[in-house]
Structure 1
Amino acid sequence: MPMPLFLKNLLLALLLLAGVLLGLLVAGSALALWAFGEAMCGNEVMAEYPSPGNQHRVVVFQRDCGATTGFSTQASLLDADEALGNEGGNLFVSDTNHGAAPAVSVVWMGERALVLRHHAAARVFKSVPKRDGVRISYEADAGFSGPGEAPERRP
């Protein structure tokens, strides 16, 4: 005996509703995991390097996103009065390669150019060549061990 039309329509509506609810559950779970993951991260400022004209500054910081990930060294180019948010670096992201590459330093070459120096053993995941009109070059140096070794600021 064939199923009455109203039962077919009811079954179809219930299946559609179940699909929509499942989709909302999956999307909500993904959003919650993303938000929770960002909330677990924190930035600890290691050094700040103001530009010669004090229009910008580069903030070098250590980012920690919990026990399942290692620390990373990152850098962001910010306006002089802009706060560092709880997000990843907009210029440079590296990890220390299990402690082999400890630090980075910044040398401004003028208001619109800078050099970011890091240990050659650092695993670099992001190195942006230009941001907000500032050119960034990168130097990897196997003998580099910290910001105290940075060359003097050049005009």
Structure 2
Amino acid sequence: MDMPKKILYSWLFWGLVFIVCMFKACTFISEGMCSNAIYSQAFSPNGEFKAVAFSRDCGATTSFSTHVSLLHSNDNLANEAGNTFISKGSATLVNPSLAWHSNSNLRITFSNQGKVFKANKEYSGNVAVSYSENGS
């Protein structure tokens, strides 16, 4: 291989390595800036699943949001966004109420603070989720 191609491929290789490393670093830093504070949790009647309501704070440039994640009962809440429900406003304002009506049916009641970003109707094909706003 002639010298100019070696130099070009070397720059391309190291440039790609640099881009990948920067992407990983930015992802790590942004995830580390967020924190979750558990507001409440409720276990399914048979104890297989739990619903966890929590406030998520990702620093000064974003507002608080309320999340609900459905998890297997022995799993811990990860430092990530909710997998079932996300709404604008802290959990003390949104006031989510988690009620299991059966092993496979969860109802989330909340005070709408202006924007619901996620409201999944099922979890893992095993749990149906329904919603209602306080006062509705």
Normalising by structure 2, we get a TM-score of 0.88
**1:63 CA displacement:** 1.0
Could you say what the CA RMSD is over the residues aligned between the two structures, in angstroms? 2.1
**Does structure 1 residue 108 correspond to structure 2 residue 100?**
yes
Q: Distance in 1 between matches of 2:3 and 2:109?
A: 67
Residue 53 to residue 104, structure 1, CA distance change in 2 (3 Å)? same
Q: Which amino acid is 1:65 matched to?
A: C
State the SS of the aligned residue for 1:74: strand
Cα pair distance change 1:120/1:83, threshold 3 Å: same
Unmatched runs of 5 consecutive residues or more in structure 2: none
Q: Which residue of 2 aligns with 1:30?
A: 23
User: Do structure 1's residue 95 and structure 2's residue 98 form an aligned pair?
Assistant: no
Percent of counterpart pairs with the same letter?
Answer: 30
Which secondary structure state, in structure 2, belongs to the residue aligned with residue 89 of structure 1? coil
2:60 to 52, 60, 67: 67
- Deviating 4+ runs (over 6 angstroms): none
The structure with the largest alpha-carbon Rg is 1
Relative to structure 1, the CA distance from residue 120 to residue 66 in structure 2 (aligned partners, 3 Å threshold; closer, same or farther) is closer
Cα shift at 1:74: 0.3
Counterpart amino acid of 1:56? F
What per-residue deviation string (whole Å, max 9, x for no partner) do you get for residues 2-56 of structure 1? xxxx8xx212211221121111111110111001111121111010112222221
TM-score, scaled relative to structure 1: 0.78
Specify the code of the residue in structure 2 equivalent to 1:118.
F
Are 1:130 and 2:122 matched, yes or no?
A: yes
Residues 1:118 and 2:110 aligned together: yes
The CA deviation at 1:81 is: 2.0
Q: C-alpha separation between the residues in 2 aligned to 1:38 and 1:104?
A: 24
Identify the residue that residue 139 of structure 1 maps to in structure 2.
132
Please state how far the C-alpha of 1:76 moved relative to its aligned partner: 0.8
AA of the residue aligned to 2:15: L
